[in-house]
Amino acid sequence: MKKNRTPLSLRVPEPVCRPGDKPDFSSIDVGQAGAVARPDVTATPASMRDMAFQLIRVLDDEGRAQGPWDPKLTPDQLRKGLTDMILVRTFDDRMHRAHRQGKTSFYMKCTGEEAIACAQGQVFSREDMGFPTYRQQGLLISRGYPLAAMMNQIYSNAADPIKGRQLPIMYSDKAYGFFTISGNLGTQYPQAVGWAMASAYKGDDKIAAAWIGDGATAEGDFHNALTFAAVYRAPVVLNIVNNQWAISSFMGIAGGLETTFASKAIGYGLPSLRVDGNDFLAVWAATEWAAERARSNLGATVIELFTYRAAQHSTSDDPSRYRPGDEYDHWPLGDPIQRLKQHLIALGEWDEERHAAAEKDAVEQVRAAGKEAEAIGTIGQSRPSVKTMFEDVYKEPDWRLIRQRQEVGV
């Protein structure tokens, strides 16, 4: 038996840059817009494994739509996408400020990732069920969910739709196809598969979609989701939002140096697409492909959405402690809002003036919603009735909950 001559050593991956270093994305190959082929939705997973190692991009550097993945959206659809993204970013900024002002205990932005949920919120319908994490506020906003209701949740005030039960931003709304967000990473992923299995079991036509972060793909739930999706051919779209960071850990800690996240699908025999997540058109087209596949009873697709977490992880985080402060500026896939704006302008369907007006409108909408929510109250000023603390544990409270409620005197 051979023995190694040199001693073994433990490898711990490190990002290329830490605070103080010059940002460097030279190791990342983003390919060319329009370069990746588009298989038929009926293609076998085995025939399209290479999709996991390429990047589907539609918008080129000049803002033109290129190649077979161009979803050919109408100008109205594009404009809606753009204004939705603007609204999401405006909402995020406002809520982030609200945290500084002590109006909420917590907030999480999705800055730089707006294209994902805003596009996908349109491709999936409200009858489908989305199983999001905490950075898909764009699903709600792009579907016209009342901003004030989101704020009521964030403020845990008397009108909080989920009765003050959860941390800010943990929305839940069945009517909008938005499953209750869990604080436990990953759990929603196999649940989405189960939900999709149920739709198939019933012979219905609803599909499910789920989102997970690059970091959370390491959870066992991710594995369970893909196994069950493949084995039972569940009509579900499994999105991996690879924003390259998990709080302070870079994607290498989740295995992202070794291969793409999209390639994880291969070991389950699932098809996967790897997509420029900052390209509204590419996200739309890939999602449409996967949704059609699911609706055609061909089963699940994994989509890796490659993006960058531009903001801090949450209001509790300070990214300058673990990555260069200006890293986002060097990130090659740019900003989803800027890119769609450029495209619309290139099409002659938009201009700076309309953009400025859209931004102003977004601020107005957020301000109006803020007024409405703040009139009810921000955190600590207003909250649901204390007796609701003992409700919804079970459909009906048992004697323990009744007595405990009595003890609180409510």
Partner 1 sequence: MPSMNMIQALNSALDAKMAEDPNVLSFGEDAGYFGGVFRVTDQLQQKYGLTRSFDAPIAEGGIAAAGIGMAVYGLRPVIEMQFADYIYPAYDQIVSEAAKIRYRSGGEFTVPITIRSPYGGGIFGGQTHSQSPESLFTHIAGLKVVIPSNPYDAKGLLIASIEDDDPVVFFEPKRLYNGPFDGWHDRPVSPWAGHPLADVPEGRYAEPLGKARLMREGADVTLLAYGTMVWVSLAAAEHAGVDAEVIDLRTLVPLDIDAIVESVKKTGRCVIVHEAPRTSGFGAELSALVQEHCFHHLEAPIERVTGWDTPYPHAFEWEYFPGPKRVAEAIKRAMEG
Ligand X SMILES: Cc1ncc(C[n+]2csc(CCOP(=O)(O)OP(=O)(O)O)c2C)c(N)n1
- Which residues contact residue 25 at a Cβ distance below 8 angstroms, ignoring those fewer than 6 apart? 330, 331, 332
Phi, psi of 176 (to 5 degrees): -95, 15
Residues 236-265 as x/- pattern, contact with ligand X by CB under 6 A: -----x-x-xxx------------------
| Residues numbered 304-363 forming contacts with ligand X, rule: CB under 6 A | 309, 313
Minimum Å distance from CB 52 to ligand X? 19
Span 119-138, contacts to a copy of itself by CB under 8 A = 122-125
Secondary element (H or E) of residue 211: strand 208-213
For residue 249, state whether it binds partner 1 (rule: CB under 8 A): yes
Residue 274 neighbours by CB under 8 Å, 6+ apart: 51, 52, 53, 54, 55, 56, 260, 261, 262, 303, 304, 306
For partner 1, which is the closer residue by CB, 117 or 169?
169
Residues 130-149 that bind ligand X (CB under 6 A): 135
Least Å from the CB of residue 125 to ligand X: 24
Q: Determine if 112 is a binding residue for ligand X (CB under 6 A).
A: no
Residue 152 C-beta: closest distance to a copy of itself, Å: 29
Cα torsion 166, 168, 173, 178: sign: negative
20 touching a copy of itself, by CB under 8 A:
no
Binding segment (CB under 8 A) for partner 1, from list 25-33, 61-69, 316-324, 339-347:
316-324
Q: How is residue 387 written in tokens?
A: 């007796």
The DSSP secondary structure of 349-408, one letter per residue, reads: S--HHHHHHHHHHHHHHHHHHHHHHHHH--TTT----GGGGGSSSSSS--HHHHHHHHHH
Within 10 A of 345 (CB to CB), how many other CB atoms are there? 15
How many CA atoms lie within 13 Å of 340's alpha carbon, on the beta-carbon side?
32
Residue closer to a copy of itself by CB (options 235, 377) is 235
Report the partner that residue 235 touches, choosing among a copy of itself, ligand X, partner 1, none (CB closer than 5 to 8 A by kind): a copy of itself
385 lines the binding site for ligand X (CB under 6 A) = no
Helix (H) or strand (E) holding 246: strand 245-246
Find out whether 268 and 28 touch, Cβ atoms under 8 Å: no
Q: Return the residue of 71, 215, 256, 299 that touches ligand X, per CB under 6 A.
A: 215
Per CB under 6 A, which of residues 179..208 are in contact with ligand X? 183-185
- 257 neighbors 13 (Cβ within 8 angstroms): yes
- Given 82, 119, 196, 216, the residue binding ligand X (CB under 6 A): 216
Look at residue 245 and give its three-state secondary structure: strand
Q: Choose which of 192, 209, 283, 311 interacts with partner 1 (CB under 8 A).
A: 192
Closest separation in Å from C-beta 214 to ligand X: 4
As a whole number of angstroms, the distance between CA 79 and CA 341 comes to 9
Q: Which positions lie near ligand X, rule CB under 6 A?
A: 135, 183-185, 213-216, 241, 243, 245-247, 309, 313
Q: Which positions lie near a copy of itself, rule CB under 8 A?
A: 1-4, 6-13, 45-46, 49, 122-125, 197, 199-201, 203-205, 207, 218-224, 227, 230-233, 235, 252-255, 257-259, 263-270, 288, 291-292, 295-297, 299
